[in-house]
Amino acid sequence: MVKIDGYGDNLTVNGVRIGDLSPADHEKIEKQKGGQNYSPLENVVVSHVKDSSTLICRKPSNNSIEAFVEEELLDGLCCYSAVNQGQLNTTIVDAVIAHLQNEKLPTVPRSIRHKYMSAFLLASTAFTGMDRVVPKVAGVESWELTFKLCRRWGQFVKGIPENECLVIGATGNFHGRSLSAVSMSDDPDSRKGFGPFVPGIELVPYNDFDALKDLFERKGEKIAAFSVEPIQGEAGVIVPDDDYWPKVSKLCKEHNILLAFDEVQTGFGRTGENFAHQLYNVKPDIMGCGKAAGGGILPVSFVAGRDDVIGTLTPGSEGSTFGGYPLASVVGIYAIKTLIEENLAQNAKIRGAQLMAHFENLKNDFPDKIKEVRGKGLLTAFEMHDSEKLDGHKVSMELLNNGIYAKETHHSTVRIAPALTITEEHVNILGEKIRLVISNL
Protein backbone atom coordinates (compact mmCIF):
# COMPACT_ATOMS: atom_id res chain seq x y z
CA MET A 1 0.00 0.00 0.00
CA VAL A 2 1.01 3.59 -0.40
CA LYS A 3 0.00 6.53 1.80
CA ILE A 4 0.37 10.03 0.44
CA ASP A 5 -0.23 13.34 2.25
CA GLY A 6 0.64 17.02 2.12
CA TYR A 7 2.03 19.59 -0.30
CA GLY A 8 5.51 20.95 -0.98
CA ASP A 9 8.00 20.09 1.74
CA ASN A 10 5.19 18.39 3.66
CA LEU A 11 4.51 16.01 0.79
CA THR A 12 4.91 12.68 2.54
CA VAL A 13 4.96 9.27 0.90
CA ASN A 14 4.80 6.27 3.21
CA GLY A 15 6.21 8.33 6.08
CA VAL A 16 9.01 9.94 4.04
CA ARG A 17 8.58 13.74 4.08
CA ILE A 18 10.40 15.27 1.08
CA GLY A 19 11.34 18.40 3.05
CA ASP A 20 13.49 16.17 5.27
CA LEU A 21 15.55 14.66 2.44
CA SER A 22 19.13 15.81 1.82
CA PRO A 23 20.63 15.99 -1.70
CA ALA A 24 22.36 12.68 -0.93
CA ASP A 25 19.01 11.10 0.05
CA HIS A 26 17.46 12.25 -3.24
CA GLU A 27 20.37 10.80 -5.19
CA LYS A 28 20.11 7.50 -3.33
CA ILE A 29 16.39 7.15 -4.00
CA GLU A 30 16.86 8.03 -7.66
CA LYS A 31 19.69 5.53 -8.03
CA GLN A 32 17.74 2.77 -6.30
CA LYS A 33 14.29 3.35 -7.73
CA GLY A 34 14.71 5.23 -11.01
CA GLY A 35 16.00 4.32 -14.47
CA GLN A 36 19.56 5.56 -14.88
CA ASN A 37 19.00 7.36 -18.16
CA TYR A 38 20.29 10.73 -16.89
CA SER A 39 23.37 11.81 -14.97
CA PRO A 40 22.09 14.92 -13.18
CA LEU A 41 24.47 17.54 -11.81
CA GLU A 42 25.84 16.24 -8.52
CA ASN A 43 24.87 17.50 -5.06
CA VAL A 44 22.05 19.82 -5.99
CA VAL A 45 18.28 19.50 -5.85
CA VAL A 46 15.92 22.15 -7.17
CA SER A 47 13.18 23.10 -4.74
CA HIS A 48 11.14 26.02 -6.04
CA VAL A 49 11.01 29.23 -8.05
CA LYS A 50 12.15 32.65 -6.84
CA ASP A 51 11.51 34.68 -9.98
CA SER A 52 11.12 34.04 -13.69
CA SER A 53 14.84 33.24 -14.12
CA THR A 54 15.84 32.16 -10.62
CA LEU A 55 15.43 28.79 -8.94
CA ILE A 56 15.95 27.97 -5.29
CA CYS A 57 18.04 24.84 -4.92
CA ARG A 58 19.32 22.75 -2.07
CA LYS A 59 22.95 21.83 -1.61
CA PRO A 60 24.62 19.75 1.12
CA SER A 61 25.40 21.80 4.21
CA ASN A 62 29.05 22.15 5.19
CA ASN A 63 28.33 20.74 8.63
CA SER A 64 26.47 17.58 7.77
CA ILE A 65 25.76 15.47 4.72
CA GLU A 66 22.32 14.82 6.24
CA ALA A 67 21.41 18.53 6.09
CA PHE A 68 21.08 21.06 3.29
CA VAL A 69 21.33 24.79 2.66
CA GLU A 70 19.21 26.72 0.16
CA GLU A 71 20.80 28.85 -2.53
CA GLU A 72 19.68 30.83 -5.57
CA LEU A 73 20.42 29.41 -9.00
CA LEU A 74 20.16 31.55 -12.12
CA ASP A 75 18.51 29.33 -14.72
CA GLY A 76 20.70 29.35 -17.81
CA LEU A 77 18.91 26.46 -19.48
CA CYS A 78 15.22 26.96 -18.77
CA CYS A 79 14.32 23.31 -19.18
CA TYR A 80 15.98 23.03 -22.59
CA SER A 81 13.96 25.99 -23.90
CA ALA A 82 10.62 24.80 -22.53
CA VAL A 83 10.35 27.81 -20.21
CA ASN A 84 10.88 30.64 -22.72
CA GLN A 85 8.05 32.59 -21.05
CA GLY A 86 9.90 32.42 -17.69
CA GLN A 87 9.24 30.21 -14.69
CA LEU A 88 5.64 30.41 -13.49
CA ASN A 89 4.67 33.09 -15.99
CA THR A 90 1.83 34.89 -14.22
CA THR A 91 -0.39 35.25 -17.28
CA ILE A 92 -0.26 31.53 -17.99
CA VAL A 93 -0.58 30.47 -14.34
CA ASP A 94 -3.55 32.83 -13.84
CA ALA A 95 -5.23 31.40 -16.95
CA VAL A 96 -4.75 27.84 -15.67
CA ILE A 97 -6.11 28.65 -12.20
CA ALA A 98 -9.06 30.66 -13.57
CA HIS A 99 -10.03 27.93 -16.00
CA LEU A 100 -9.74 25.13 -13.46
CA GLN A 101 -11.45 26.99 -10.62
CA ASN A 102 -13.96 29.33 -12.25
CA GLU A 103 -14.55 27.90 -15.71
CA LYS A 104 -14.84 24.28 -14.47
CA LEU A 105 -12.58 23.03 -17.24
CA PRO A 106 -13.47 19.49 -18.25
CA THR A 107 -11.08 16.72 -19.32
CA VAL A 108 -12.39 15.06 -22.47
CA PRO A 109 -10.74 13.34 -25.42
CA ARG A 110 -10.98 14.30 -29.09
CA SER A 111 -13.87 11.99 -29.87
CA ILE A 112 -16.15 14.75 -28.56
CA ARG A 113 -15.70 18.42 -29.45
CA HIS A 114 -14.76 20.87 -26.70
CA LYS A 115 -14.99 24.63 -27.05
CA TYR A 116 -11.32 25.39 -26.27
CA MET A 117 -10.03 23.43 -29.28
CA SER A 118 -11.41 26.03 -31.70
CA ALA A 119 -9.63 28.79 -29.79
CA PHE A 120 -6.38 26.81 -29.84
CA LEU A 121 -6.61 26.14 -33.58
CA LEU A 122 -7.39 29.80 -34.32
CA ALA A 123 -4.45 30.97 -32.17
CA SER A 124 -1.89 28.42 -33.37
CA THR A 125 -2.64 28.71 -37.10
CA ALA A 126 -2.54 32.52 -36.87
CA PHE A 127 0.71 32.42 -34.87
CA THR A 128 2.49 29.98 -37.18
CA GLY A 129 1.00 31.27 -40.42
CA MET A 130 0.14 27.69 -41.34
CA ASP A 131 -3.10 26.27 -42.76
CA ARG A 132 -3.70 23.55 -40.19
CA VAL A 133 -2.51 22.39 -36.77
CA VAL A 134 -2.67 18.99 -35.06
CA PRO A 135 -2.02 18.94 -31.29
CA LYS A 136 0.20 16.38 -29.58
CA VAL A 137 1.88 16.24 -26.16
CA ALA A 138 5.68 15.76 -26.11
CA GLY A 139 8.13 17.38 -28.51
CA VAL A 140 9.15 14.03 -29.95
CA GLU A 141 5.54 13.28 -30.79
CA SER A 142 5.32 16.39 -32.92
CA TRP A 143 8.44 15.29 -34.81
CA GLU A 144 7.12 11.74 -35.10
CA LEU A 145 3.87 13.02 -36.56
CA THR A 146 5.67 15.25 -39.07
CA PHE A 147 7.67 12.16 -40.06
CA LYS A 148 4.51 10.10 -40.55
CA LEU A 149 2.79 12.91 -42.45
CA CYS A 150 5.78 13.31 -44.75
CA ARG A 151 5.55 9.63 -45.59
CA ARG A 152 1.80 9.81 -46.13
CA TRP A 153 2.12 12.88 -48.33
CA GLY A 154 4.94 11.15 -50.21
CA GLN A 155 2.71 8.21 -50.97
CA PHE A 156 -0.73 9.82 -51.35
CA VAL A 157 0.20 13.12 -53.01
CA LYS A 158 3.64 12.74 -54.57
CA GLY A 159 2.90 9.17 -55.64
CA ILE A 160 5.91 7.35 -54.21
CA PRO A 161 5.15 3.60 -54.30
CA GLU A 162 4.10 2.05 -50.97
CA ASN A 163 7.01 1.18 -48.66
CA GLU A 164 9.56 2.94 -50.86
CA CYS A 165 9.37 6.40 -49.37
CA LEU A 166 12.56 8.02 -48.06
CA VAL A 167 12.85 10.76 -45.45
CA ILE A 168 16.20 12.53 -45.29
CA GLY A 169 17.71 13.81 -42.04
CA ALA A 170 20.92 15.61 -41.12
CA THR A 171 23.96 14.35 -39.26
CA GLY A 172 24.10 15.48 -35.63
CA ASN A 173 20.30 15.75 -35.47
CA PHE A 174 18.23 15.43 -32.34
CA HIS A 175 14.48 14.87 -32.59
CA GLY A 176 13.77 13.03 -29.34
CA ARG A 177 13.70 9.47 -28.12
CA SER A 178 11.00 7.57 -30.02
CA LEU A 179 12.15 4.66 -32.14
CA SER A 180 11.80 6.65 -35.37
CA ALA A 181 13.72 9.56 -33.86
CA VAL A 182 16.61 7.35 -32.76
CA SER A 183 16.44 5.60 -36.13
CA MET A 184 17.30 8.98 -37.64
CA SER A 185 19.92 9.77 -34.99
CA ASP A 186 23.63 9.17 -35.53
CA ASP A 187 24.43 9.35 -31.81
CA PRO A 188 25.68 5.89 -30.76
CA ASP A 189 24.54 6.34 -27.12
CA SER A 190 20.93 6.85 -28.12
CA ARG A 191 20.92 3.87 -30.54
CA LYS A 192 22.92 1.13 -28.86
CA GLY A 193 20.80 -1.93 -28.18
CA PHE A 194 17.56 -0.41 -29.51
CA GLY A 195 17.64 -1.82 -33.05
CA PRO A 196 16.28 -2.93 -35.42
CA PHE A 197 15.59 0.60 -36.60
CA VAL A 198 12.91 2.18 -38.77
CA PRO A 199 13.92 1.90 -42.44
CA GLY A 200 13.58 4.55 -45.15
CA ILE A 201 15.85 7.12 -43.52
CA GLU A 202 19.07 8.57 -44.94
CA LEU A 203 21.34 11.25 -43.52
CA VAL A 204 23.31 14.01 -45.21
CA PRO A 205 25.90 16.21 -43.49
CA TYR A 206 24.22 19.24 -41.86
CA ASN A 207 24.80 22.55 -43.67
CA ASP A 208 26.22 20.79 -46.76
CA PHE A 209 24.11 21.94 -49.67
CA ASP A 210 26.04 20.01 -52.33
CA ALA A 211 25.58 16.69 -50.50
CA LEU A 212 21.83 17.28 -50.33
CA LYS A 213 21.64 18.31 -53.97
CA ASP A 214 23.56 15.22 -55.01
CA LEU A 215 21.22 12.97 -53.00
CA PHE A 216 18.10 14.67 -54.38
CA GLU A 217 19.45 14.27 -57.92
CA ARG A 218 20.07 10.57 -57.39
CA LYS A 219 17.00 9.60 -55.36
CA GLY A 220 14.63 12.60 -55.46
CA GLU A 221 11.70 10.64 -56.88
CA LYS A 222 11.56 8.47 -53.79
CA ILE A 223 12.23 11.25 -51.29
CA ALA A 224 9.21 12.71 -49.46
CA ALA A 225 10.95 15.17 -47.18
CA PHE A 226 14.04 16.73 -45.72
CA SER A 227 13.30 16.61 -41.97
CA VAL A 228 15.67 18.81 -40.02
CA GLU A 229 16.28 21.39 -37.27
CA PRO A 230 16.73 24.95 -38.62
CA ILE A 231 19.47 25.39 -35.99
CA GLN A 232 20.73 22.26 -34.27
CA GLY A 233 20.23 22.59 -30.51
CA GLU A 234 21.39 19.40 -28.84
CA ALA A 235 24.33 19.12 -31.24
CA GLY A 236 25.71 22.23 -29.53
CA VAL A 237 23.89 25.14 -31.18
CA ILE A 238 25.05 24.60 -34.74
CA VAL A 239 24.02 27.58 -36.86
CA PRO A 240 24.08 26.92 -40.62
CA ASP A 241 25.41 29.38 -43.23
CA ASP A 242 23.07 32.31 -43.93
CA ASP A 243 22.31 31.13 -47.47
CA TYR A 244 21.83 27.44 -46.61
CA TRP A 245 18.08 27.44 -45.92
CA PRO A 246 17.09 29.69 -48.85
CA LYS A 247 19.05 27.37 -51.17
CA VAL A 248 17.62 24.23 -49.55
CA SER A 249 14.07 25.58 -49.72
CA LYS A 250 14.43 26.27 -53.44
CA LEU A 251 15.99 22.86 -54.05
CA CYS A 252 13.14 21.13 -52.20
CA LYS A 253 10.58 22.93 -54.37
CA GLU A 254 12.44 21.95 -57.55
CA HIS A 255 12.31 18.28 -56.56
CA ASN A 256 8.80 18.35 -55.05
CA ILE A 257 10.25 17.39 -51.65
CA LEU A 258 8.82 18.71 -48.39
CA LEU A 259 10.90 20.88 -46.11
CA ALA A 260 9.95 19.66 -42.62
CA PHE A 261 11.37 21.71 -39.77
CA ASP A 262 11.71 20.58 -36.19
CA GLU A 263 11.17 23.85 -34.30
CA VAL A 264 10.68 22.15 -30.94
CA GLN A 265 13.74 23.88 -29.48
CA THR A 266 14.18 26.82 -31.86
CA GLY A 267 10.53 27.92 -31.96
CA PHE A 268 8.56 30.25 -29.71
CA GLY A 269 10.91 33.21 -29.78
CA ARG A 270 14.08 31.40 -28.76
CA THR A 271 16.26 32.58 -31.67
CA GLY A 272 15.02 36.17 -31.80
CA GLU A 273 12.11 35.47 -34.17
CA ASN A 274 8.95 33.59 -33.30
CA PHE A 275 10.32 30.70 -35.41
CA ALA A 276 13.92 30.17 -36.50
CA HIS A 277 12.91 29.75 -40.15
CA GLN A 278 11.86 33.42 -40.14
CA LEU A 279 15.54 34.33 -39.58
CA TYR A 280 16.23 32.92 -43.02
CA ASN A 281 13.12 34.10 -44.82
CA VAL A 282 11.99 30.59 -45.70
CA LYS A 283 8.80 28.75 -44.86
CA PRO A 284 8.65 25.03 -44.16
CA ASP A 285 5.82 22.93 -45.58
CA ILE A 286 5.32 21.36 -42.18
CA MET A 287 6.89 21.86 -38.77
CA GLY A 288 6.83 20.40 -35.28
CA CYS A 289 6.65 22.61 -32.17
CA GLY A 290 6.85 21.66 -28.51
CA LYS A 291 8.64 22.75 -25.35
CA ALA A 292 7.68 26.46 -24.91
CA ALA A 293 4.40 25.74 -26.72
CA GLY A 294 3.31 24.71 -23.21
CA GLY A 295 4.64 27.89 -21.55
CA GLY A 296 6.81 25.80 -19.23
CA ILE A 297 3.69 24.67 -17.42
CA LEU A 298 2.38 21.64 -19.33
CA PRO A 299 3.78 19.48 -22.10
CA VAL A 300 2.08 20.83 -25.21
CA SER A 301 3.23 20.14 -28.74
CA PHE A 302 1.73 20.40 -32.19
CA VAL A 303 2.34 19.96 -35.87
CA ALA A 304 1.59 22.92 -38.11
CA GLY A 305 1.57 22.61 -41.84
CA ARG A 306 0.24 23.09 -45.31
CA ASP A 307 -3.25 22.05 -46.20
CA ASP A 308 -2.24 19.27 -48.59
CA VAL A 309 0.21 17.72 -46.08
CA ILE A 310 -1.94 17.72 -42.94
CA GLY A 311 -4.90 17.05 -45.20
CA THR A 312 -3.64 13.49 -45.71
CA LEU A 313 -4.89 12.60 -42.21
CA THR A 314 -8.10 10.61 -42.04
CA PRO A 315 -10.21 9.60 -39.01
CA GLY A 316 -8.47 6.81 -37.13
CA SER A 317 -5.07 7.41 -38.75
CA GLU A 318 -3.70 9.46 -35.84
CA GLY A 319 -4.66 10.55 -32.36
CA SER A 320 -3.64 11.47 -28.84
CA THR A 321 -5.64 11.32 -25.61
CA PHE A 322 -4.09 14.43 -24.13
CA GLY A 323 -3.12 16.23 -27.33
CA GLY A 324 -5.23 19.40 -27.29
CA TYR A 325 -7.41 18.41 -24.33
CA PRO A 326 -9.00 21.47 -22.72
CA LEU A 327 -6.23 22.32 -20.24
CA ALA A 328 -3.52 21.86 -22.90
CA SER A 329 -5.51 24.07 -25.27
CA VAL A 330 -5.80 26.84 -22.67
CA VAL A 331 -2.10 26.62 -21.81
CA GLY A 332 -1.17 26.55 -25.52
CA ILE A 333 -3.26 29.66 -26.22
CA TYR A 334 -1.79 31.57 -23.29
CA ALA A 335 1.75 30.46 -24.17
CA ILE A 336 1.23 32.17 -27.54
CA LYS A 337 -0.46 35.24 -26.02
CA THR A 338 2.44 35.74 -23.60
CA LEU A 339 5.03 35.36 -26.29
CA ILE A 340 3.38 38.05 -28.39
CA GLU A 341 2.28 40.49 -25.71
CA GLU A 342 5.54 40.35 -23.76
CA ASN A 343 7.58 40.80 -27.00
CA LEU A 344 9.66 37.78 -26.08
CA ALA A 345 11.24 37.19 -29.49
CA GLN A 346 12.40 40.81 -29.50
CA ASN A 347 13.78 40.44 -25.97
CA ALA A 348 15.61 37.29 -27.07
CA LYS A 349 17.22 39.32 -29.85
CA ILE A 350 18.30 42.14 -27.52
CA ARG A 351 19.45 39.99 -24.59
CA GLY A 352 21.00 37.47 -26.97
CA ALA A 353 23.17 40.20 -28.50
CA GLN A 354 24.18 41.26 -24.98
CA LEU A 355 25.11 37.67 -24.02
CA MET A 356 26.99 37.08 -27.28
CA ALA A 357 29.02 40.25 -26.62
CA HIS A 358 30.11 38.70 -23.31
CA PHE A 359 31.07 35.51 -25.16
CA GLU A 360 32.98 37.38 -27.88
CA ASN A 361 34.98 39.24 -25.23
CA LEU A 362 35.68 35.96 -23.49
CA LYS A 363 36.94 34.41 -26.71
CA ASN A 364 39.16 37.42 -27.40
CA ASP A 365 40.60 37.34 -23.90
CA PHE A 366 41.03 33.55 -23.71
CA PRO A 367 41.74 32.35 -27.27
CA ASP A 368 43.65 29.38 -25.85
CA LYS A 369 40.50 28.20 -24.05
CA ILE A 370 37.49 29.29 -26.14
CA LYS A 371 37.44 27.89 -29.65
CA GLU A 372 34.13 29.27 -30.91
CA VAL A 373 31.02 31.07 -29.74
CA ARG A 374 27.71 30.47 -31.53
CA GLY A 375 24.14 31.58 -31.28
CA LYS A 376 20.99 33.22 -32.53
CA GLY A 377 18.86 35.16 -30.08
CA LEU A 378 19.05 33.42 -26.71
CA LEU A 379 20.05 30.03 -28.11
CA THR A 380 23.77 30.35 -27.49
CA ALA A 381 26.83 28.23 -26.77
CA PHE A 382 30.54 28.50 -26.31
CA GLU A 383 32.84 25.71 -27.39
CA MET A 384 36.17 25.15 -25.72
CA HIS A 385 39.22 23.61 -27.34
CA ASP A 386 39.22 19.86 -27.03
CA SER A 387 41.47 19.09 -24.09
CA GLU A 388 41.14 17.28 -20.81
CA LYS A 389 41.53 20.48 -18.83
CA LEU A 390 38.69 22.21 -20.70
CA ASP A 391 35.96 19.84 -19.69
CA GLY A 392 32.32 20.91 -20.20
CA HIS A 393 31.10 18.97 -17.19
CA LYS A 394 33.68 20.66 -14.97
CA VAL A 395 32.50 24.03 -16.29
CA SER A 396 28.86 23.11 -15.52
CA MET A 397 29.85 22.11 -11.97
CA GLU A 398 31.89 25.27 -11.44
CA LEU A 399 29.02 27.39 -12.79
CA LEU A 400 26.76 25.62 -10.32
CA ASN A 401 29.13 26.55 -7.50
CA ASN A 402 28.77 30.13 -8.70
CA GLY A 403 24.98 30.08 -8.75
CA ILE A 404 24.41 29.35 -12.47
CA TYR A 405 22.56 26.38 -13.91
CA ALA A 406 23.86 25.36 -17.33
CA LYS A 407 24.80 22.02 -18.76
CA GLU A 408 27.36 20.89 -21.27
CA THR A 409 26.29 19.31 -24.54
CA HIS A 410 29.08 17.01 -25.65
CA HIS A 411 32.48 17.17 -24.02
CA SER A 412 33.56 20.73 -24.67
CA THR A 413 30.45 22.78 -25.51
CA VAL A 414 28.27 24.59 -22.99
CA ARG A 415 24.86 25.81 -24.13
CA ILE A 416 23.32 28.86 -22.48
CA ALA A 417 19.63 29.33 -23.18
CA PRO A 418 17.91 31.32 -20.41
CA ALA A 419 14.28 32.41 -20.25
CA LEU A 420 13.36 35.02 -22.84
CA THR A 421 12.14 37.22 -19.97
CA ILE A 422 15.69 37.48 -18.62
CA THR A 423 16.75 40.95 -17.48
CA GLU A 424 19.80 42.95 -18.54
CA GLU A 425 21.21 42.54 -15.04
CA HIS A 426 20.81 38.74 -15.08
CA VAL A 427 22.53 38.50 -18.49
CA ASN A 428 25.48 40.45 -17.07
CA ILE A 429 25.61 38.09 -14.09
CA LEU A 430 25.63 35.11 -16.48
CA GLY A 431 28.44 36.68 -18.53
CA GLU A 432 30.54 37.58 -15.48
CA LYS A 433 30.18 34.19 -13.80
CA ILE A 434 31.08 32.37 -17.00
CA ARG A 435 34.16 34.58 -17.32
CA LEU A 436 35.14 33.81 -13.73
CA VAL A 437 34.84 30.07 -14.27
CA ILE A 438 36.70 30.08 -17.61
CA SER A 439 39.50 32.27 -16.28
CA ASN A 440 40.08 29.80 -13.43
CA LEU A 441 40.27 26.71 -15.65
Residues annotated as part of the active site: 174, 262, 291
Runs of H (alpha helix) within 68-208: 78-81, 90-101, 115-128, 139-153, 179-184, 188-191
Measure the CA–CA gap between 233 and 268, rounded to whole angstroms: 14
Instruction: Name the minimum Å distance from CB 409 to ligand PLP.
Output: 10
Instruction: Decide: is 144 part of the binding site for ligand PLP (CB under 6 A).
Output: no
Instruction: Name the minimum Å distance from CB 175 to ligand PLP.
Output: 5
What is the sign, positive or negative, of the torsion defined by CA atoms of 146, 148, 154, 157? negative
Instruction: Decide: is 331 part of the binding site for ligand PLP (CB under 6 A).
Output: no
The Cβ-side half-sphere exposure at 273, using a 13 Å CA radius, reads 13
Instruction: Decide: is 229 part of the binding site for ligand PLP (CB under 6 A).
Output: yes
Task: Look at residue 104 and give its three-state secondary structure.
Answer: coil
The interface mask with ligand PLP, positions 110-139, x = CB under 6 A, is ----------------------------xx
Instruction: Name the minimum Å distance from CB 279 to ligand PLP.
Output: 16
Beta carbon nearer to ligand PLP, 85 or 265 = 265
Q: Are strands 286-289 and 301-305 parallel, antiparallel or unpaired?
A: antiparallel
Instruction: Say if CB 331 and CB 295 are below 8 A apart.
Output: yes
Measure the CA–CA gap between 98 and 115, rounded to whole angstroms: 16
Out of 76, 233, 284, 332, the only residue in the binding site for ligand PLP (CB under 6 A) is 233
Residue ranges in 160-219 that form contacts with ligand PLP under rule CB under 6 A:
174-176
Instruction: Decide: is 275 part of the binding site for ligand PLP (CB under 6 A).
Output: no
Residue 172 sits at φ, ψ, to 5 deg, of 80, 5
Out of 54, 85, 127, 234, the only residue in the binding site for ligand PLP (CB under 6 A) is 234
The interface mask with ligand PLP, positions 60-99, x = CB under 6 A, is --------------------x-------------------
Out of 166, 170, 264, 286, the only residue in the binding site for ligand PLP (CB under 6 A) is 264
Beta carbon nearer to ligand PLP, 60 or 332 = 332
Beta carbon nearer to ligand PLP, 41 or 119 = 41
Out of 143, 147, 153, 206, the only residue in the binding site for ligand PLP (CB under 6 A) is 143
CA distances (Å), 325 to each of 129, 149, 163, 223, 439, in order? 22, 22, 33, 34, 50
Task: Look at residue 56 and give its three-state secondary structure.
Answer: strand
Q: Which stretch binds ligand PLP (CB under 6 A): 109-117, 257-265, 374-382, 426-434?
A: 257-265
Task: Look at residue 375 and give its three-state secondary structure.
Answer: strand
Burial 249-271 (b: 16+ CB within 10 A, else e): bebbeebebbbbbbbbbbbbbbb
Where do contacts with ligand PLP occur on this chain (CB under 6 A)? 80, 138-140, 143, 174-176, 229, 233-234, 262, 264-265, 290
